[in-house]
Structure 1
Amino acid sequence: MARRAAGGRAASRAAARREREAASSLPRALGLTLASGVLWGVAHLWAGRRVTGALLMALFTALVSVVVVTVTVFRGSLETIAVQPEWLTRITVGLLVVGLVWAAVVIRSYAIVRPGGLTAVTRTVGGAAVGVLCVLVALPLAYAAHLGQVTNDTLSDIFQAGTGGREIDKDDPWDGQRRVNVLLLGGDSGPNRVGVRTDSMTLASMDTETGDTVLLSLPRNLEGFPMPPGPARDRFPYGFTGDGPQSPGLLNEVYEYAENHPDVVPGVPKERRGPELLKGTIGGIVGLRVDHYILVDMRGFADIIDAVGGVRMTVPEDIIYGKLNEGRVKAGTRTLTGKEALWFGRSRTNSDDYTRMGRQKCLLRAVARQADPARVLTRFDQLAAAARRAVSTDIPADLLPAFVKLSGEMRDGSKISSLQFVPPLISVGSPDFPLIRSLTSRAIASSEGRVAAAPTSPRPSTRPSTPSTGAPSTPEPQAKPVSLDDSCPS
């Protein structure tokens, strides 16, 4: 009996010793598992599984090498890849697969180095630690896959599927065009308004080789402009006069007129009527073909600015806004919120349309130059939701990579100049359209480093003539495009 009792006590001591040894080995096992999470195969090599360990290390090294080479050597291609649905789908699936494989490697590594004889408590601690490690390695990849899916959905919602009716050559996506002209519209819709009034209309003419851009701004209250050939010109042979006797016939009414009168743009879907008629109208005014448009709802614009973390601007003087002048964008250089940026570009209190147009160009410049990928990533869901609500366009999805490359050239320091067709250069009540077209041609020639013929159309006088007194004459209105770097406060 005594001998059996002694044997039992010895077995108990041996079991306790094994438990202590197992517990002391747990940190080593977790360390090896962590090392395998950083470099696949470490735990397998330690456990003597050399072939498997070497294969895992080789696979991991290959994956890391691909990522490094892609980010360093092919960095310029990443932005264009990020707007192609087929690539986004492949990347999303690939990220999910790598995340699952990585988690499986961590779990298997722990399984082969885990000591035996663990108590329930130490097994729980070890399992929890491995679970946390799996989350740490897989969560970033899962989030990246989520961003890819959100991007894909957003692009599908905003941009037209396909090529827009023509075959797009990857080597020459612009089909030999030296310039691409995109109409940028700010639509001022709201619950107290019927339809959309385009109070901001700027034609961006971009050099497809250099990214140098000329912004041609047209005032919302331009009158007497010709309509494009076809049903619209048949209805308004002597220039647009608006919808009825109460309408002043301004340029910002064209979009809504097309929405309400589908017969002037036959065969065009409802959501494209306004843009198509306005593209043709503005193209005729400046003498250029308008290739595409982008419409941003002004209220949604504020959400977009907030989503990217604001925009840094210099406000020369306080800008007042609101029905009772209760709002104020204070003077100074700082980061504006979405609401402040909206009113910076929208308010006409104590100023006029033309001052507002100048501020809008500076705001566009700041947004284009300050796009920060890091800030965009941290607010990506919010930005995508805001873009879906606020942006519409006819740019085909297959042309997006070319536009992304072009925008990258603009960010990298291409020249952006602006020409505004406003008084005293152009009379909005009685515009000189040959002069507008001539000035447009000169502005583009200047941007391309060419010389164009001087305008031959006389400028309309803005004051009565007076006898010469020998005093210096008043300088002529500025007719050359002005660099936004010079005209915008910094």
Structure 2
Amino acid sequence: MARRRRHGLGRALALTAASALVWGVAHLRTGRRLTGAALLASHTLLAGLVVSVPFGPRPELLRLAFSPGWLAFTTAAGLLLAAVWAGVVARSWFLVRPAGLHAPARAAGACAVVLLCLAVSAPFLVAAHAAFLYRGALLSIFGSADHARAEGRANPWAGLPRLNVLLLGGDAGRNRFGVRTDSITLASIDTRTGDTVLLSLPRNLERVPMPPGPALERFPDGFTGDGPMTPGMLNEVYQYAEDHPEVVPGVPPGRRGPALLRPAVEAALGQPVHYHVLVDMRGFARLIDAMGGVEVVIPEDIAYGARDEGLLPAGRHRLSGTQALWYGRSRTGSDDYTRMARQKCLMRAMARQAEPYRILPRFQQLAAAARRTVSTDIPPSLLPAFLELAEKVKSRGRITSLPFVPPLITSADPDYGLIRARADHALWGGEAKASHKAAATRKAAASAAPTASANAARPSASPDAARPVSLDETCPS
């Protein structure tokens, strides 16, 4: 008690603050050497672990960052550290607080200690909350994916010269029933160089070849929709599968659309689809807003809305989510094919502007938006490899685009033999390289052979119309 009386209020608060910075100071000062030494050693070990994390092996750090189990551990550890640190501060104050203080002084000291406890625990509570949100988003987006495909593989792209990811934009508007995939692009990435080719199919592509099985039996001459009076466009395939489970037997609801659309795109392009990503276009606006907007150059005014009530003026602008959605969707004064070109420029702008200094401060908003916006079959265990490949694409890869639009094809009467040949040439550069493609590629092309033979006699489009063009050349900047 005598030791406690010799400490004034200011000195006691200073010792408590010192204990908040370095555990054990107050314990050592009051003669509790064993406990103080243990706290000091624990604090030193903890600090060492935190400082050493950034210098750990990058592949292992990435793997942990995308591990739901590790994120759950991080959440629990953050809560535990917050409680322990606040407990150390409170106990330190109890040991050094002066005896015989008047009520106002006791209240002032208690308030100061409570604020100090909140200050030291807040970072850990924030980190735990962020890890909890991140884990929820990870499980929501990737939770249903097949983990087994990536396990035990140090380099998942070994033996895979090109990784093909189908990017789908689903438009489930208020005036629509179900989901229509109005944006269909196969991103084919060279796993060695990062060079990427975007093969875009128009939403109004008709008579898309169906994969073998019930779908091909129902539509032997290509997809025609619900009846002979409907054209049956590509953007209807997804919802048709959801509404007609018999064409994809054994597939649960929510997965029927990709189960039919993916092989249909494979058959149309003659290229395998390894994974797919579906982005809900209404949620896409929230994703852009969470990023803080996206900057694009608009070469000429773009009117939008049912009655052209909106206008995106020409010039350089940072678009909000709603504006970016209209930029990519508006067909006023243009057509589907012009819209497809703008969508590619929007993708390019987002990829370039997704810098860590933009993403990290808005992490929680992005995680919440992505959870409601994105679905995919990419397994979480592959995300580190995807991230490294994305960095390669961004840092040194060249992104080109080949949209299958007039005059290259006619959407109402497409030549799928020509589409497959042009896609093959864009990705592989001719027969010599094509001979080295994976067996899955040849299988996809073979499944669409009947349609190809029917179109074999058609004339080809000009070489320039079928040449992949760099987005740096076509997108104003």
TM-score category (smaller protein): 0.7 to 0.9
- Secondary structure (helix, strand or coil) at the match of 1:437 reads helix
The corresponding residue for 2:209 is 226
1:486 to 2:469 alignment: no
The corresponding residue for 2:464 is 477
For residues 49 and 418 of structure 2, the distance between their equivalents in structure 1, rounded to whole angstroms, comes to 56
> 8 Å contact 1:33–1:110 — kept in the other structure?
yes
1:298 to 2:281 alignment: yes
Instruction: Map Cα deviations across residues 74-128 of structure 1 (whole Å, 9 max, x no partner).
Output: 4565444222101101111111222222112212222222222211211111111
1:184 CA displacement: 0.8
For residues 96 and 155 of structure 1, the distance between their equivalents in structure 2, rounded to whole angstroms, comes to 20
The corresponding residue for 2:442 is none
Alignment counterpart, residue 228 of structure 2, candidates 241, 245, 256: 245
> 8 Å contact 1:308–1:375 — kept in the other structure?
yes
1:457 CA displacement: 7.1
Partner AA of 1:295 in structure 2: L
> 8 Å contact 1:178–1:207 — kept in the other structure?
yes
Alignment counterpart, residue 173 of structure 2, candidates 190, 193, 215: 190
1:48 CA displacement: 4.3
Relative to structure 1, the CA distance from residue 66 to residue 301 in structure 2 (aligned partners, 3 Å threshold; closer, same or farther) is: same
Once the two structures are superposed, the pairs formed by residues 142-157 of structure 1 within 5 Å of their partners are 142-157=125-140
For residues 80 and 332 of structure 1, the distance between their equivalents in structure 2, rounded to whole angstroms, comes to 42
Relative to structure 1, the CA distance from residue 76 to residue 397 in structure 2 (aligned partners, 3 Å threshold; closer, same or farther) is: closer
The corresponding residue for 2:446 is none
The count of residues paired between Structure 1 and Structure 2 equals 455
> 8 Å contact 1:293–1:394 — kept in the other structure?
yes
> 8 Å contact 1:424–1:477 — kept in the other structure?
no
Moved more, 91-100 or 336-345: 91-100
> 8 Å contact 1:84–1:401 — kept in the other structure?
no
- Secondary structure (helix, strand or coil) at the match of 2:189 reads strand
Percent identity, aligned pairs only, is 55
Once the two structures are superposed, the pairs formed by residues 56-455 of structure 1 within 5 Å of their partners are 56-74=39-57, 77-161=60-144, 163=146, 166=149, 168-174=151-157, 176-445=159-428
1:42 to 2:29 alignment: no
For residues 336 and 209 of structure 2, the distance between their equivalents in structure 1, rounded to whole angstroms, comes to 22
> 8 Å contact 2:133–2:368 — kept in the other structure?
no
- Secondary structure (helix, strand or coil) at the match of 1:392 reads strand
Partner AA of 2:9 in structure 1: L
The corresponding residue for 1:472 is none
Instruction: Map Cα deviations across residues 164-188 of structure 1 (whole Å, 9 max, x no partner).
Output: 5546224133474333222111111
Relative to structure 1, the CA distance from residue 68 to residue 410 in structure 2 (aligned partners, 3 Å threshold; closer, same or farther) is: farther
1:141 CA displacement: 0.6
Relative to structure 1, the CA distance from residue 59 to residue 483 in structure 2 (aligned partners, 3 Å threshold; closer, same or farther) is: farther
- Secondary structure (helix, strand or coil) at the match of 2:413 reads coil
1:44 CA displacement: 3.2
> 8 Å contact 1:304–1:383 — kept in the other structure?
yes
- Secondary structure (helix, strand or coil) at the match of 2:402 reads strand
1:277 CA displacement: 0.8
Moved more, 153-162 or 195-204: 153-162
For residues 341 and 121 of structure 1, the distance between their equivalents in structure 2, rounded to whole angstroms, comes to 57
Partner AA of 2:121 in structure 1: A
- Secondary structure (helix, strand or coil) at the match of 1:206 reads strand
For residues 88 and 40 of structure 2, the distance between their equivalents in structure 1, rounded to whole angstroms, comes to 11
For residues 163 and 102 of structure 1, the distance between their equivalents in structure 2, rounded to whole angstroms, comes to 40
Moved more, 38-47 or 317-326: 38-47
Instruction: Map Cα deviations across residues 375-421 of structure 1 (whole Å, 9 max, x no partner).
Output: 44444443333223222222233333333333343344433222111
For residues 69 and 122 of structure 1, the distance between their equivalents in structure 2, rounded to whole angstroms, comes to 42
Structure 2: which 5+ runs fail to align?
A: 436-454
For residues 198 and 357 of structure 2, the distance between their equivalents in structure 1, rounded to whole angstroms, comes to 28
> 8 Å contact 1:344–1:359 — kept in the other structure?
yes
Relative to structure 1, the CA distance from residue 57 to residue 74 in structure 2 (aligned partners, 3 Å threshold; closer, same or farther) is: farther
> 8 Å contact 1:425–1:459 — kept in the other structure?
no
1:311 CA displacement: 1.3
Partner AA of 1:142 in structure 2: L
> 8 Å contact 2:162–2:188 — kept in the other structure?
yes
For residues 314 and 72 of structure 1, the distance between their equivalents in structure 2, rounded to whole angstroms, comes to 39
For residues 233 and 358 of structure 2, the distance between their equivalents in structure 1, rounded to whole angstroms, comes to 40
Instruction: Map Cα deviations across residues 455-477 of structure 1 (whole Å, 9 max, x no partner).
Output: x9787478xxxxxxxxxxxx753
The corresponding residue for 1:10 is none
Q: TM-score, normalised by structure 1?
A: 0.85
For residues 223 and 149 of structure 2, the distance between their equivalents in structure 1, rounded to whole angstroms, comes to 32
1:23 CA displacement: 10
- Secondary structure (helix, strand or coil) at the match of 1:270 reads coil
Relative to structure 1, the CA distance from residue 36 to residue 170 in structure 2 (aligned partners, 3 Å threshold; closer, same or farther) is: farther
For residues 331 and 459 of structure 1, the distance between their equivalents in structure 2, rounded to whole angstroms, comes to 40
The corresponding residue for 2:439 is none
> 8 Å contact 1:163–1:398 — kept in the other structure?
no
For residues 189 and 458 of structure 1, the distance between their equivalents in structure 2, rounded to whole angstroms, comes to 39
For residues 142 and 325 of structure 2, the distance between their equivalents in structure 1, rounded to whole angstroms, comes to 24
For residues 458 and 327 of structure 2, the distance between their equivalents in structure 1, rounded to whole angstroms, comes to 31
> 8 Å contact 2:59–2:384 — kept in the other structure?
no
For residues 246 and 347 of structure 1, the distance between their equivalents in structure 2, rounded to whole angstroms, comes to 27
Moved more, 68-77 or 293-302: 68-77
For residues 268 and 363 of structure 2, the distance between their equivalents in structure 1, rounded to whole angstroms, comes to 38
1:268 CA displacement: 1.2
For residues 290 and 403 of structure 1, the distance between their equivalents in structure 2, rounded to whole angstroms, comes to 15
For residues 344 and 396 of structure 2, the distance between their equivalents in structure 1, rounded to whole angstroms, comes to 17
Structure 1: which 5+ runs fail to align?
A: 1-17, 463-474
> 8 Å contact 2:210–2:216 — kept in the other structure?
yes
- Secondary structure (helix, strand or coil) at the match of 2:165 reads strand
Instruction: Map Cα deviations across residues 49-70 of structure 1 (whole Å, 9 max, x no partner).
Output: 4444443333223222222221
- Secondary structure (helix, strand or coil) at the match of 2:308 reads coil
> 8 Å contact 1:435–1:458 — kept in the other structure?
no
1:210 CA displacement: 4.3
